[in-house]
């Protein structure tokens, strides 16, 4: 009897270690993942984008631990999950100023110009936005969209789209628009240019709008990070006018590089309570999990937003209700 007890204790200890070690490693990964930015890495960027799915897996494993009466391990994993999600939650609207005249921005990654013009025209007619920001657009798509939209009056726009593929972004407005120098050029280390426009809204006044679309970190994490850094340097001194950054940032709040850029901006993303809704991939058998499309504002207020989906693109679009300072 005395000889078997140490062996049994060893078995129990071994089983405990087999649970403690995986839970400890998983918890540490969850907590640290949203903060890793000390070197550009495809693998890390993908894991950060997958954080919502990793958290769901952690919840499922916590339930298993609870059924096995491993209360402490389940509690530890759930605490790590909460700490991991904290920096990724929807920031909520900031009381930057009393709300004034409202206007609407529609932003969409148009899937290399393959978005269904009739489907997008329906969304435009329903939402009646004042400004359109179309990433991965093409001239034939814009022409078809104009033909499909009753009463099309988005006649003011940034320059012609040269490629008609993944690199082109256009800003369209029904009000007077004047193009400024892009916020990022390919020669600055950005694979995609970022157009900028000054728009004179009749009630809200003049605002500055930039159409955002850095190369995805899965393609080249160094270029992606460099573009966000260039953009962060660009926005810092431009405090003379209210500013809108809209488009496909290829970055979620789980990416510290995106959070650094978004600091000081207001956003009211489509969300389930405090959890932002995913905007990519929109055409998968799995629900969209990566919230990489955004409408960020500074010097004005974000009142709310909704997702929409049209055929031909793997992104949800965003319709954002904004207001000037009253």
Note the pLDDT tens digit of each residue in 267-308: 989 998 889 999 999 988 889 999 999 999 999 999 999 999
φ, ψ for residue 135 (rounded to 5)?
-95, 150
b/e burial code for range 152-166 (CB count within 10 A of at least 16 → b): eebebbbeebeebeb
Token pair 């060893």 in the structure block, residue: 10
Domains observed in the chain: 6-89 (no CATH), 102-324 (3.60.10.10)
**Is residue 159 a contact partner of residue 195, using CB atoms and an 8 Å limit?**
yes
The 3-state DSSP class for residue 311 equals coil
pTM of the model: 0.90
Q: What is the mean pLDDT of residues 118-122?
A: 97
Note the pLDDT tens digit of each residue in 127-161: 999 999 999 999 999 999 999 999 999 999 999 98
């Amino acid at each position: 009897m005395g000889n078997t007890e140490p062996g049994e204790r060893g078995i129990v200890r071994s089983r405990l270690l087999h649970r403690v070690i995986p839970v400890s490693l998983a918890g540490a990964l969850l907590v640290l993942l949203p903060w890793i930015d000390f070197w550009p890495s495809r693998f890390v960027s993908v894991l950060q984008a997958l954080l919502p799915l990793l958290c769901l897996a952690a919840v499922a494993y916590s339930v298993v631990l609870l059924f096995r009466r491993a209360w402490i391990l389940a509690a530890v994993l759930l605490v790590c999950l909460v700490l991991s999600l904290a920096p990724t939650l929807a920031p909520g609207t900031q009381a930057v100023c009393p709300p004034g005249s409202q206007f609407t921005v529609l932003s969409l990654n148009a899937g290399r110009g393959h978005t269904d013009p009739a489907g997008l025209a329906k969304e435009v007619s329903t939402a009646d936005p004042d400004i359109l920001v179309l990433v991965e657009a093409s001239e034939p798509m814009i022409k078809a969209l104009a033909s499909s939209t009753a009463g099309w009056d988005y006649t003011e726009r940034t320059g012609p789209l040269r490629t008609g593929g993944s690199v082109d972004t256009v800003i369209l407005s029904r009000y007077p628009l004047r193009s400024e120098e892009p916020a990022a050029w390919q020669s600055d280390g950005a694979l995609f240019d970022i157009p900028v426009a000054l728009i004179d809204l009749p009630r809200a006044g003049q605002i500055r709008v930039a159409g955002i679309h850095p190369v995805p970190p899965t393609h080249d994490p160094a270029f992606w990070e460099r573009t966000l850094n260039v953009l962060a340097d660009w926005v810092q001194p431009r405090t003379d006018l209210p500013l809108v950054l809209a488009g496909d940032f290829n970055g979620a709040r789980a990416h510290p590089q995106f959070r650094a850029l978004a600091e000081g901006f207001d956003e009211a993303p489509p969300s389930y309570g405090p959890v932002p809704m995913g905007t990519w991939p929109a055409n998968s058998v799995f629900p969209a999990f990566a919230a990489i499309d955004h409408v960020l504002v500074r010097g004005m207020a974000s009142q709310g937003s909704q997702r929409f989906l049209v055929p031909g693109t793997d992104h949800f679009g965003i319709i954002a209700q904004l207001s000037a300072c009253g």
